Amino acid sequence: MASSTRQALAAAKEAISPLLGKADLLFAEELFTIGAAIASSIQLRNLLSDPSGEEKSKQGALAAVFGKAISKDALTFANKLSGLRWSKGSDLVSAFEQMGVYVVASIASRDKTLDELEDQLFAARSVVDSSQDLQQALSSRQASVESKVELVSALFKGKLSAASALLVRFAVIGSRQHKLSEVLEGFGKLVSAVADRLVATVTVAAPLSAAQQNRLEAALSASYGTELNLNVEIDPSILGGVKVQVSGEIIDGSVAARLNQAKLQLA
């Protein structure tokens, strides 16, 4: 991935963060729809991803194509993405897909269904991988995207949550030059990355009461600026206090750690 695209993705995640609190699946669907439309139009893709293109021209194009079909928040965010520097047009398309997955995963985290989302995406991918006939039908150039979406929708009808069904549907739409299984795997990795980022592993010497756990969860969520789910582990060896790990960052406030630090200072 080119450095310009990497920086643009970081900026995109920062821009979408304030929208996650009120985001719903319709907003995620709008992002996917914009990405799919850009992917299907070389002219639009080249215009929106051109780093030398005028901002007013890009905004005008987005308003003309999507203005009456999407929400104000989705259009504003689309303008933000088109204003970033992408190394190539396909990176902008991928960004809309990634942000769509990011929104769905964040909603699932908020609803405490992130594990279900991960499990169902993995199950859907396994079903696709296990059927050669299904793979051939989904990779056929003679079949329309609409017929492929109908096939997959019928296959998984009643077996997926609304969030999972949305991701599977747009994985089919987005599998232009890739196998559906590969796209689902990519979506799954993005969901897992969000899960890892939004889970705080808390180690304590003794079980926490419900009230203590709620207070700790609220304090950590406020500290990190986003809702965190707690994964509480019991380890009597830390003696007391709390050890917290969030996305690779460790805050060790355990009694054992403080004792070790005191020993080092006295040595």
pLDDT digits (tens, 9 = 90+) for 117-173: 999 999 999 999 999 999 999 988 899 999 999 999 999 999 999 999 999 999 999
| Strand, helix or coil for residue 35 | helix
Angstrom distance (rounded) from CA 93 to CA 71: 19
Alpha-carbon distance 161 to 20, whole Å? 20
pLDDT at 248: 66
Q: Is the pLDDT of residue 238 over 70?
A: yes
Query: What pLDDT sits at residue 120?
Result: 94
CA angle at residue 37 from 31 to 39, to 5 degrees?
100
Three-class DSSP category at 235: coil
Greater model confidence, 101 or 257? 101
Q: pLDDT at residue 104 above 90?
A: yes
Cα-based angle 144, 41, 10 (whole degrees, multiple of 5)? 110
pTM for this entry: 0.74
Helix axes 180-197 and 89-110, enclosed angle (nearest 10): 50
Question: What pLDDT, on a 0 to 100 scale, did the predictor assign at position 267?
Answer: 62
Q: Is the pLDDT of residue 77 over 90?
A: yes
| Side-by-side strand order, sheet with 249-254 | 229-234, 199-204, 241-246, 249-254
Share of the chain above pLDDT 70, in %: 94
Query: What pLDDT sits at residue 46?
Result: 94
Strand partners, 46: none
In whole numbers, what is the pLDDT of the chain averaged over residues?
88
pLDDT by residue (tens digit) across 118-132?
A: 999 999 999 999 999
**For position 23, what pLDDT does the model report?**
92
Specify the pLDDT at position 201. Answer: 83
Q: What six digits make up the tokens of 239?
A: 């003696």
> pLDDT tens digits for 4-61?
899 999 999 889 988 988 899 999 999 999 999 999 999 999 999 998 889 999 999 9
Q: Is the pLDDT of residue 245 over 70?
A: yes
Domain chopping of the chain, boundaries = 3-196, 198-266
